[in-house]
Amino acid sequence: MFESNGSRSNKPFIWHNNRMPPTDRHTRVLALYGTEYTWEMDSLHERCHRDFHYSLVGKDIFGSAVSPNQLQTPFLRVGEFAGKKIGSKFHVSHCERLGHDHYLDEFKPKLHIYDESRPIGTDVNILSYFTFYERQVWNCTAKLRPKLAESVNFYRIVNVMHGIGPINTIFYFDGVEVMQANCPIENAKDIPNIQTVAFKEIKFLEPSTRELVRYTGKIDPLFDTIQGSIFKAVDVLKSSYDDDEYFEELPYLEKTMFYTQIIGDENMGPTLRIGSDNFVGTYGYKNQVAKCRLEEENNLLYTEEYLPNCLVLENGGKFSEMYGSPPRKLNLNFFSTMRQESWICSWGANQVFTRRVTEIVAAIPVAKVEYYSGVDVWKYKLEGESFSIRIRETYYHKTDNKDYQIRFNGKVKVLRPERKTIEKRKIEPYLYLTGNTTDQFNIPKENWGAFDVNMIDSL
């Protein structure tokens, strides 16, 4: 519905936005500050390669300490041990990527959690602790020699996920690579000690039984004819850019007005209201240009107080206490913060303001999203018949007051930073010899006290 009489009522205006979803060419963000992952298992363009080598035997497992001093944070295990072998190291496979609709819920990574009350652990849904960032299904056929009729068929599954909250230690198997990642915390000084992870999993499945198998051969080549990621643009602001800069003009709505988009079935999730319309001041004139440069340091980044506003509404429009309080605070149990940036924008005679950019992905089903100026929306298939969202909010505020939201009347020129990205580092794995818990030599000394012998034995 769209109220067009121009009168102000007590009821919020709802604007069904008609901005066309742009192509990836128009939605590129110049800086992905702090969220670029250089995966060693990134072999899309390599010829005749192996995604990874199998190293684990029996009950051995890899482990990486993430936030080892935070004993209240979970111990997780991702993936499975591949036992059944197919083919040989001399096989060469040709793989073709299948469409997004070929990805099934059963292809998700397996997740096991340990805590004091459950030392042997329990299986849980991966979406309780991680959100998807990419997933792929490849149909592979391997032969010993190209002209041989006999072949081995399998699926190559790729999952890339980002943690929602802090993790103490993560255990994992062959085919899983782990990177350090930021998550929202109360105080910026805690960021080095309170972290989550992003991980990439590559696994091979028998097509009919979905059984995890061990393929030690090579892949040559990969045929990728699928365009785009799992995220489908719903309403993304179109920006013009060149190699060194791009221009940004946010379409401002009147106060109490917001856009709305249907994401999924109304019975399969709540309504999310994202962003803020609490404009306090207006800066600049129509023909003025503000130049924005990326900040290397900002103590507010990734703190809870610096996240976008989020209101979760149940059917009937009532605030849902299930998702936490206060009602406008982004609940950290249901969203992963993929990245956050701070930019200093200068205009006029030594005038400045701050441009905050935050990208989040929801791990809960969403029926509808309502959002204010400066919010871009994507949707993606969550699980089953449900859908969820990826959000990018661009928020301007007074540099010394994050709650002093402003509008800028002119154009905002975002300059490409000298260092485009900061690569996230891989967390080096330790090899845990779980078959012999009395042998502590392969377990980091500083972490041994955090593990219960029963837990180690149950890995």
Average pLDDT score over residue span 26-34:
34
Co-location of 363 and 314 in the same domain = yes
Co-location of 203 and 67 in the same domain = yes
Residue with tokens 């192996």: 50
Give the separation between CA 86 and CA 143, rounded to whole angstroms.
11
For residues 20 and 96, the model is more confident at: 96
pLDDT, tens digit (0-9, with 9 covering 90-100), for 183-242? 998 887 887 889 999 999 999 999 999 999 999 999 987 888 887 789 999 999 876 666
pLDDT of 439: 39
β-strand pairing of 423-424 with 36-37 = parallel
Q: CA Rg, the chain, in Å?
A: 24
Q: Among 350, 346, 357, which residue's Cα sits nearest to residue 396? A: 357
Among the residue ranges 113-117, 286-290, 431-435, 455-459, the one predicted with the least confidence is: 455-459
Asked if residue 353 belongs to a domain, the reply is: yes
- How high is the mean pLDDT of the chain? 81
Co-location of 441 and 380 in the same domain = no
Asked if residue 5 belongs to a domain, the reply is: no
pLDDT of 427: 77
Asked if residue 50 belongs to a domain, the reply is: yes
Co-location of 288 and 324 in the same domain = yes
Co-location of 158 and 258 in the same domain = no
Give the separation between CA 106 and CA 179, rounded to whole angstroms.
24
pLDDT of 241: 60
Asked if residue 37 belongs to a domain, the reply is: no
Co-location of 261 and 146 in the same domain = no
Co-location of 281 and 396 in the same domain = yes
Please determine, for residue 447, whether its predicted confidence score (pLDDT) is greater than 60: no
Asked if residue 40 belongs to a domain, the reply is: no
Co-location of 180 and 319 in the same domain = no
Instruction: Provide, rounded to the nearest whole percent, the portion of the chain with pLDDT above 70.
Output: 78
Average pLDDT score over residue span 333-341:
91
The answer to whether residues 73 and 444 touch, using CB atoms and an 8 Å cutoff, is: no
Give the separation between CA 93 and CA 79, rounded to whole angstroms.
23
pTM of the model: 0.85
Please determine, for residue 72, whether its predicted confidence score (pLDDT) is greater than 90: no
The answer to whether residues 34 and 339 touch, using CB atoms and an 8 Å cutoff, is: yes
Please determine, for residue 288, whether its predicted confidence score (pLDDT) is greater than 50: yes
The answer to whether residues 292 and 394 touch, using CB atoms and an 8 Å cutoff, is: no
Give the separation between CA 171 and CA 182, rounded to whole angstroms.
19
Q: Among 235, 262, 232, 251, which residue's Cα sits nearest to residue 1? A: 262
pLDDT, tens digit (0-9, with 9 covering 90-100), for 388-415? 999 999 999 999 999 999 999 999 999 9
Q: Among 171, 178, 220, which residue's Cα sits nearest to residue 196? A: 178
Average pLDDT score over residue span 73-78:
90
Asked if residue 118 belongs to a domain, the reply is: yes
Q: Which domain holds residue 95?
A: 45-223+429-458
Which run of H or of E encompasses 458?
Answer: helix 453-458
Among the residue ranges 29-38, 49-58, 214-223, 263-272, the one predicted with the least confidence is: 29-38
Co-location of 108 and 70 in the same domain = yes
- Residue 448 DSSP symbol: H
Co-location of 414 and 309 in the same domain = yes
Co-location of 139 and 183 in the same domain = yes
The answer to whether residues 258 and 359 touch, using CB atoms and an 8 Å cutoff, is: no
Give the separation between CA 185 and CA 16, rounded to whole angstroms.
35
Co-location of 283 and 141 in the same domain = no
Q: How confident is the model at residue 70 (pLDDT cuts 50, 70, 90)?
A: confident
pLDDT of 453: 41
For residues 348 and 381, the model is more confident at: 381
pLDDT, tens digit (0-9, with 9 covering 90-100), for 225-240? 887 789 999 999 876 6
Asked if residue 449 belongs to a domain, the reply is: yes
For residues 402 and 147, the model is more confident at: 402
Work out how many domains the chain is built from and give that number. 2
Asked if residue 440 belongs to a domain, the reply is: yes
Which run of H or of E encompasses 391?
Answer: strand 387-398
Please determine, for residue 20, whether its predicted confidence score (pLDDT) is greater than 80: no
